[in-house]
Structure 1
């Protein structure tokens, strides 16, 4: 993390407590939605590989026009545990988010201002190409190298393989991390 210029949530040698404790992975959607809302003005967002659409729904609640792009159609969950409210929140049975039930292609980027990939198998490189072609921003928390058109060279992580690709496409990079367990380091790539 420090090599990216990011400050740890707690100082080395300090025991985290209270709000500095890493949140459970199930809160990642709410933490990411809060980060997006703090970092970007409301805009057109695609949650690439967004599954059931909870992140898109949370972004809609924050004023974004959010859609899911995922080849597998799934309904919104009926409820989720809210970190901010410290209780379970029910989602109306008739609630929905706009969906594109297809694998992500770079051409989808023409319809959005921001592409978000939390677990975007097979779409990370195409998302970066969309940013280069259409001027949208991309926010990635890269995890797996599944169904991607390139793989990292020996000794180079998937994260850095993607940041190298973003730079090769002429995109600027901004790194961030969120306070939840698991793959919580990401980057924003874009033209400005």
Structure 2
């Protein structure tokens, strides 16, 4: 079982990247249960997840910089999504997002982006694309210690077929300063 610490960023499938603000015991059905209190900046909410269920719901640590760079490279890969029915495609993409791995998120972003370049996405798929893009941007920015704006630029450059190499993370980067820059 993986345990998380207060102030650690985690990925909660579909919900996104959150920060553990507290770990506390609360009564539940006549016993004390240990919970992670996870704060999500967007949409400004806190979710309580029982520590014992965290792994089964897919709560995980932010990926390493190496894994994030690998996910960015997947954005250059061609994915075949044979189904032409948008409802079926939407369900397939939702299933990938529920798995919650960064490579699955990148695949959803890539397939929906590619589809959007040839045909306008239905509203539900557009929402799914926006959500998946946000998930990818948030995790890549934390993993590479980049601002969200820089991460978004890198992602869309890859999607658009840009051949510039993804810059390595700068260990000297003041990460807290970058987070402050994103809120302005």
| Interval of TM-score (by shorter of Structure 1 and Structure 2) | under 0.3
TM-score (norm 1): 0.27
TM-score (norm 2): 0.27
Q: Which has the higher helix share?
A: 2
